[in-house]
């Protein structure tokens, strides 16, 4: 098959391109190389892949990019929570307007298969179980409670603590920050396109991705990159809240493998897929694992917080496993060691472009 990969010069994109080529596909990359995402503005694709230097929002560039393409993997996006509400127009333009332009061009050129990079942040605080009221959706966390160190969202009915549950794709979306809202909007736009054109959409709801090539020293970087940057400056990583917020950390090579399997195998209708390891870990665990691997300063748990962060969100990825026979292959321990030391065993490091 021939794939167009938008954002193929980015962190996840480079691994997806590599996985596609290993599996014998033809690849065309479209990437803007925008400087707030890419350190190396002279990035070039691997041998055998085409490259179009353009923004997905540029309608004139899209039809040539889609010529002869069988399917699209849409990874290009502005990521992260955002620094200020003034970031909102750029998020909406980069993520939603760009997706609208891509879908319109796919309709014009009759390209009917899309694999979309979505996110676990679509679920907000996910779901929890109250001893009295059963399964429920946590309410928004209050600034006053968080300032007093009360970080866990309570049952919205009785205020009692909630037990955390794995989130399935059937849980209704509940975006609680600008980035999350744009990812949900992308999914809805893609669904509208599929229903009107007969196209197929696989929305990949990535959980916390880490691994070789992960961006560093940027407000849009993942928490692992921020911890690593501090450790490499011989500074103690600063962990927000009490460090007990749970996440599902998933290695980028496992993300790439899942994405390519879905792109190859999903041929009809609209379907969402969680992509996570299935093993919850705390943010504090990650910070201490990286500090041990680098023999660095002990992390500091600060109690600081950001409104818009979710407390606990972990995935049930059984749908992906069942439908595409995918399994994550990199353990948390091996992934943290690799991330800290740059050692990948037999796998070469793919540097951020």
Q: Which of 90-99, 120-129, 211-220, 269-278 is the least confident region?
A: 211-220
Higher pLDDT, 309 or 262: 262
Q: Residue 326 to residues 72, 243, 330: CA-CA distances in angstroms?
A: 20, 30, 12
Q: Which of 6, 78, 33 is nearest to 352 (CA)?
A: 33
pLDDT digits (tens, 9 = 90+) for 272-303: 999 999 888 999 999 999 999 999 999 999 99
At residue 220 the predicted structure's pLDDT band, cuts being 50, 70 and 90, is very low
At residue 353 the predicted structure's pLDDT band, cuts being 50, 70 and 90, is very low
Which pLDDT value is given to residue 144? 93
Region 147-172 average pLDDT:
91
Distance CA 4, CA 6 (A): 6
Structure tokens at 313: 């969100």
Region 178-206 average pLDDT:
97
Region 10-33 average pLDDT:
96
In the predicted structure, residue 315 carries a pLDDT above the cut 90: no
pTM of the model: 0.89
Which pLDDT value is given to residue 58? 97
Q: Which residues of 112-133 are buried (b: 16+ CB within 10 A; e: fewer)?
A: bbbbbbbbbbbbbbbbbebeee
Distance, CA of 276 to chain centre: 10
Mean pLDDT of the chain: 90
At residue 254 the predicted structure's pLDDT band, cuts being 50, 70 and 90, is very high
In the predicted structure, residue 347 carries a pLDDT above the cut 50: no
Which pLDDT value is given to residue 37? 74
Region 30-54 average pLDDT:
87
Q: Which of 83-92, 282-291, 321-330 is the least confident region?
A: 83-92
In the predicted structure, residue 222 carries a pLDDT above the cut 90: no
């Amino acid at each position: 098959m021939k794939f167009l990969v938008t954002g193929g010069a980015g962190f996840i994109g480079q691994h997806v391109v590599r996985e596609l080529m290993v599996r014998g596909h033809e690849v065309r990359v479209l990437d803007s190389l925008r400087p707030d995402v890419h350190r190396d503005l002279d990035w070039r694709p691997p041998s055998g892949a085409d490259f179009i230097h353009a923004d997905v929002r540029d309608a004139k560039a899209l039809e040539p990019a889609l010529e002869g393409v069988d399917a699209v993997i849409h990874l290009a996006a502005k990521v992260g929570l955002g620094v200020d509400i003034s970031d909102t127009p750029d998020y909406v333009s980069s993520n939603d307007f760009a997706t609208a332009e891509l879908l319109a061009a796919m309709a014009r050129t009759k390209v009917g298969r899309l694999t979309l990079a979505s996110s676990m942040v679509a679920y907000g605080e996910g779901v929890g179980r109250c001893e009295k009221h059963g399964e429920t959706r946590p309410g928004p966390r209050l600034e006053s409670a968080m300032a007093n160190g009360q970080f866990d969202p309570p049952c919205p009915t009785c205020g009692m603590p909630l037990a955390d549950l794995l989130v399935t794709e059937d849980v209704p979306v509940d975006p609680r920050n600008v980035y999350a809202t744009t990812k949900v909007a992308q999914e809805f736009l893609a669904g509208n396109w599929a229903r009107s054109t007969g196209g197929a959409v696989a929305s990949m709801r990535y959980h916390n991705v880490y691994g070789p090539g992960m961006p560093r020293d940027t407000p849009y970087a993942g928490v692992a990159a921020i911890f690593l940057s501090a450790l490499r400056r011989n500074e103690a990583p600063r962990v927000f809240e009490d460090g007990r917020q749970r996440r599902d950390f998933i290695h980028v090579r496992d993300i790439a493998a899942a994405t390519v399997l879905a792109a190859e195998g999903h041929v009809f209708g609209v379907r969402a897929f969680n992509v996570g390891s299935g093993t919850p870990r705390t943010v504090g665990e990650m910070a201490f694992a990286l500090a041990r691997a680098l023999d660095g300063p002990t992390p500091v748990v600060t109690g600081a917080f950001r409104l818009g962060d979710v407390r606990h969100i972990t995935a049930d990825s059984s749908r992906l496993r069942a439908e595409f026979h995918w399994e994550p292959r990199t353990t948390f321990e091996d992934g943290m060691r690799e991330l800290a030391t740059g050692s990948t065993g037999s796998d070469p490091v793919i540097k951020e472009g």
